[in-house]
Amino acid sequence: MIPRFLKLVTICGALVGGAAGCAVTPERPPVDPQLVRGNILRLADAEWNAFGGQTIYREGGRERIDPVGVWEDERRGSPRIAGYWQAVAEDWAGDDCDKPWSAAFISWLMLEAGVPARDFTLSGLHADYLRDIAKRQGAANARFALRAVADYTPRPGDLMCATRAGASIASLDAIPDGTPMHCDLVVLNDSGRLESIGGNVRNSVSKTVRQVDPLGRLPLEGDRPWVLVVENRYPGLLY
């Protein structure tokens, strides 16, 4: 999954969760900022297709999955997830079904798309990169910013983020360390229909289709407790 021409940096020793050994974190050559947003969207679409195009529909408070795709513990799925873990320097096999990998997936997308480390902190925890975005977003050249769900219409390339396991966030600039969260990548928001792609969603890389309000904003009370949107300030929307 990692092109041969890329230099690999090896990180050895004890890793998160007690795993030991070596994980490789690839260094990427600079990418034209004009291409980054399109890269993110294309990569997400390619991974979704690689996992069989699993699609979840949220209709009238009910969930329907059609089709059902490849799952994390299947032979076609786990090696790809192991590649996501490599992006965050963690050495997991991918079939560790009790190890949430949605943040590793988002980090992999950003790394592969050409987002430099100064703009996005690679991590297996969503709260880590969100906290760093909050610290950086006041800079004139900040590529990402945290926006309140009630005040912002998500666009393709943005991330939509929810808390998990009953966690809460008092303010966007004070996300507690280790807060359990989930983020999806927005891939379409048009005419009351929002589509997003996320990792570790029903055991796969899944696309979820939701209805949103006339302004295209997420409901405060939906299938997840959505608390923020990460505005992607890279240029371009179409891909």
Query: Cα torsion at 85, 235, 51, 102 (round to 10°)?
Result: 40
Give the mean pLDDT of the chain.
Answer: 87
* Torsion over CA: 92, 94, 99, 100 (sign): positive
Beta strands in 81-139 (DSSP E): none
Q: Give the predicted TM-score (pTM) of the model.
A: 0.87
Q: 184: left (phi > 0), else alpha (psi -120 to 50), else beta?
A: beta
100: tokens are 């949430």
Taking only the tens place, the pLDDT of each residue in 178-205 is 999 999 999 999 999 999 999 999 999 9
Q: How far apart are CA 75 and CA 1, in angstroms?
A: 15
The confidence score (pLDDT) of residue 27 equals 64
23-27, 165-169, 216-220, 232-236: segment of lowest average pLDDT: 23-27
Q: What percent of the chain has pLDDT over 70?
A: 87
The residue among 23, 78, 77, 51 whose CA lies nearest residue 206 is: 51
Q: Which residues of 159-178 are buried (b: 16+ CB within 10 A; e: fewer)?
A: bbbbbeeebebeebeebeee
SS3 85: helix
Average pLDDT, integer, range 127-133? 96
Domain spans of the chain, in order of start: 8-232
The confidence score (pLDDT) of residue 168 equals 84
For residue 4, give every residue at least 6 positions away whose Cβ sits within 8 Å of its Cβ, in sequence order, or none.
none
The confidence score (pLDDT) of residue 235 equals 93
CA distances from 134 to 147, 150, 234 (A): 10, 18, 17
Q: How far apart are CA 230 and CA 185, in angstroms?
A: 9
Alpha carbon 193 to its chain centroid, in Å, reads 20
The residue among 113, 95, 89, 99 whose CA lies nearest residue 25 is: 89
Average pLDDT, integer, range 6-13? 34
The confidence score (pLDDT) of residue 122 equals 97
The confidence score (pLDDT) of residue 25 equals 55
Taking only the tens place, the pLDDT of each residue in 65-84 is 999 999 999 989 999 999 99
Does the pLDDT of residue 121 top 60, yes or no? yes
